[in-house]
Chain A
Amino acid sequence: MKTLAPRLIFAALLLVPFGFGSQFLVNLAMLTAMSALLGQAWNIAGGFGGLTSFGHTVFFGLGAYAAAILATRYGVSAWFALPVAFALGGAVGAVIGFASFRAGLRGSYFALVTLAFAEAFRVLATASEFTRGGQGINVSLDLGLANFQFADRRATYAVIVALLLLAMAVAAWLRRSRFGAQLMAVRENEDAAAALGIDIVFTKTAAFSLSGGFAALGGVVYCQTYLFVDPLIAFGVERSVEMLLVAMIGGAGTVWGPVLGALALHLVADTARSFIATPGFAPMLYGVMLLVIVGLLPGGVASLGARWRRA
């Protein structure tokens, strides 16, 4: 998207919720921005690097638990939890990534390993006293800027948008920089990349770590918004799937894809869901959307603009 128009539309969309007092609209905008943030986090590794993770909620969950535990056990402000979660997500991403890539795991094998890690963390969080097991952790309500808890959802929304813009800046950097070019080269062809001097294990591990850091930031914001986290919220498979869907539907490996994907998923799916209340309808609709995209528009919604311009 090189033209100015989409950016202006995006800026306008970002600002709309501030102009209205409607909690419904603000909530929808907040959830959409949260999806876009998590989708962009997934996209850094999955889109740019082709590292298809099925368990990215591992990082989201670590971020959410880090915020909850820091607040309840150590009385630390959630603002401080942001850098801690970023570092924690990054470190766990580096460990999972290094172990998998060193062993040469790719494609569906890597996807299964990430899924297994997410499930292992869910079981651990359920069993451990440190995380209060299956009953989860309640963060006590203590509104105020210093505690990163806001009565007005618009403030939370503003924080999420700031983090989203930061993640998009990283994606834009990947599109321009040497590291990003090398990451995309590894995605396209590992042997050729190695022959041209690219350290494959390092490149993939670094991307996965960065991606994990951003997903963990999403977890902190979630915890501060709902003031509750339990093993299923933190490490449930649905969130992993949603992160992947948002990036793939919008356009993997692009700066705008996850934003468009989150809009498509929330506007289309949530609207449809309010008309048809049958349980299981939303996942089915997600599946149909993914099939349509993979079959008809492999570049995602983001590639529509380029298509129209070429036509």
Chain B
Amino acid sequence: MLEVNGLSKRFGGLQAVRDVALTVNEGAITALIGPNGAGKTTTFAMVAGFIRPDAGSVRFLGKEMAGLRPDRIAALGMVRTFQVTQPFAGLSVMENIRIGAFLHEADPGLAEVLAREVGTRLGLGAILDRPASGLTVAARKRLEVARALATQPRLLLLDEVMAGLNPSELGEIVSMIRAVRDGGVTILLIEHIMAAVAALAEEVNVMAEGALIARGTPTQIARDPAVVEAYLGHGAAARMAQSGARHA
């Protein structure tokens, strides 16, 4: 469904993303993980059209997306959320979601019906008519997903929708994301929380220092020495193997 190849971006002296390739299969939940500053969000921004890549291609449903404006890409069915939630603060929760619904539904009444349905499905039913400013972190994250989902996307790009949530909220959002996928929406997510990634994703891509360093199932990734080093520092994998051997 989504095929990214050779994607690169340089900001001044910093090579933020170098030659990244990604594949997302229809109906799957694919994760993109990596330490802070690995270039995940920049990759997302390029895929969704917010940043123009220096090189590389982004093919979505067989069409080239690189160079298109973000609103064109969203209209074609690939919609992103933001790591730092971006609610329309002056509008109510329902009105926020309805902005998403308006992408393919011009009638205000029908768009509101769709918005209320999506909001209720994502657990925002009780607060639909409250102002979007002054929501809790968990509710803002849900709103971010609800708004994107109301555009009726084929592929959702979720940027750290689980960061800053407590364990019970985390469990709820994991089942929410799974329900979204079961509803027929393919998902690519950036995440820090490994437990959530292991619970959700079929395939995990790992980035470090701007490049893709590993790809596989969550279990394969957790054992990959390159991944352990990227997170815990140079030589960590070897030290862990050694101490593991001593304890045995």
A contact residues vs B (CB 8 Å cutoff): 176-178, 181-182, 184-185, 187-189, 191-200
Q: Which residues of B contact A189 (CB under 8 A)?
A: 86-89
Is the pair B111, A178 in contact by a Cβ cutoff of 8 Å?
yes
- For residues 7 through 39 of chain B, which have their beta carbon under 8 Å from a beta carbon of chain A? none
* Distance of A189 Cα from B102 Cα, bound (Å): 16
* Distance of A62 Cα from B79 Cα, bound (Å): 42
- For residues 46 through 75 of chain B, which have their beta carbon under 8 Å from a beta carbon of chain A? 48, 50, 69-71, 74-75
Is the pair B86, A197 in contact by a Cβ cutoff of 8 Å?
no
Q: Mark B96-112, 1 if CB is under 8 A from A, else 0.
A: 00111011001110010
A195-B81 contact, Cβ under 8 Å, with A178-B106, A181-B108, A200-B71: yes
Is the pair A197, B89 in contact by a Cβ cutoff of 8 Å?
no
Instruction: Answer yes or no: B95 CB below 8 A from chain A CBs.
Output: yes
Say which residue of B50, B74, B107 sits within 8 Å of A196 (CB atoms).
B74
Q: Which residues of A contact B111 (CB under 8 A)?
A: 178
A197-B71 contact, Cβ under 8 Å, with A181-B99, A189-B87: yes
Q: Which residues of A contact B102 (CB under 8 A)?
A: 178, 181-182
Distance (whole angstroms) from the CB of A302 to the closest CB of chain B: 14
Provide 19 A-B residue pairs closer than 8 Å at the C-beta atoms, listed in order of the A residue.
A178-B106, A178-B108, A181-B95, A181-B98, A185-B88, A187-B90, A189-B86, A191-B86, A192-B82, A194-B70, A195-B70, A195-B74, A196-B100, A197-B100, A197-B103, A197-B151, A199-B69, A199-B71, A200-B71
Is the pair A197, B88 in contact by a Cβ cutoff of 8 Å?
no
Q: Which residues of B contact A181 (CB under 8 A)?
A: 95, 98-99, 102, 108
Is the pair B95, A198 in contact by a Cβ cutoff of 8 Å?
no
Is the pair B69, A194 in contact by a Cβ cutoff of 8 Å?
yes
Q: Which residues of A contact B100 (CB under 8 A)?
A: 196-197
B contact residues vs A (CB 8 Å cutoff): 48, 50, 69-71, 74-75, 79-82, 86-91, 95, 98-100, 102-103, 106-108, 111, 147-148, 151
* Distance of A197 Cα from B81 Cα, bound (Å): 12
Task: List the count of A-B residue pairs having beta carbons below 8 Å apart.
Answer: 77
* Distance of A195 Cα from B88 Cα, bound (Å): 12
Is the pair A192, B87 in contact by a Cβ cutoff of 8 Å?
yes
Is the pair B108, A188 in contact by a Cβ cutoff of 8 Å?
no
* Distance of A36 Cα from B103 Cα, bound (Å): 33
* Distance of A214 Cα from B13 Cα, bound (Å): 49
Is the pair B86, A194 in contact by a Cβ cutoff of 8 Å?
no
Distance (whole angstroms) from the CB of B83 to the closest CB of chain A: 12
* Distance of A193 Cα from B74 Cα, bound (Å): 10
Is the pair A198, B98 in contact by a Cβ cutoff of 8 Å?
no
Known: A196-B103, A197-B71. 10 other contacts (CB 8 A): A181-B102, A188-B87, A189-B89, A191-B82, A192-B88, A192-B147, A194-B71, A195-B148, A197-B74, A199-B71
* Distance of A178 Cα from B147 Cα, bound (Å): 15
* Distance of A200 Cα from B50 Cα, bound (Å): 13
Distance (whole angstroms) from the CB of A60 to the closest CB of chain B: 28
* Distance of A176 Cα from B102 Cα, bound (Å): 12
* Distance of A80 Cα from B48 Cα, bound (Å): 48
Is the pair A184, B88 in contact by a Cβ cutoff of 8 Å?
yes
Is the pair B70, A185 in contact by a Cβ cutoff of 8 Å?
no
Distance (whole angstroms) from the CB of A121 to the closest CB of chain B: 32
Distance (whole angstroms) from the CB of B105 to the closest CB of chain A: 8
Closest to A199 in B: B71
Of listed A176, A177, A181, A197, residue having the most chain B CB within 10 A: A197
Closest to B73 in A: A197
Q: Which residues of A contact B103 (CB under 8 A)?
A: 196-198
* Distance of A176 Cα from B108 Cα, bound (Å): 7
* Distance of A253 Cα from B24 Cα, bound (Å): 43
Say which residue of A177, A178, A198 sits within 8 Å of B71 (CB atoms).
A198
Closest 8 pairs between A and B when the two form their complex, measured CB to CB: A197-B74, A188-B88, A192-B86, A197-B103, A194-B70, A185-B99, A197-B75, A196-B100
A182-B99 contact, Cβ under 8 Å, with A189-B86, A192-B88, A197-B74: yes
Closest to B95 in A: A181
A188-B90 contact, Cβ under 8 Å, with A176-B108, A194-B50, A196-B147: yes
Say which residue of A177, A191, A193, A200 sits within 8 Å of B99 (CB atoms).
A193
A184-B90 contact, Cβ under 8 Å, with A195-B48, A195-B79, A197-B103: yes
Q: Which residues of B contact A191 (CB under 8 A)?
A: 50, 82, 86
Distance (whole angstroms) from the CB of A83 to the closest CB of chain B: 27
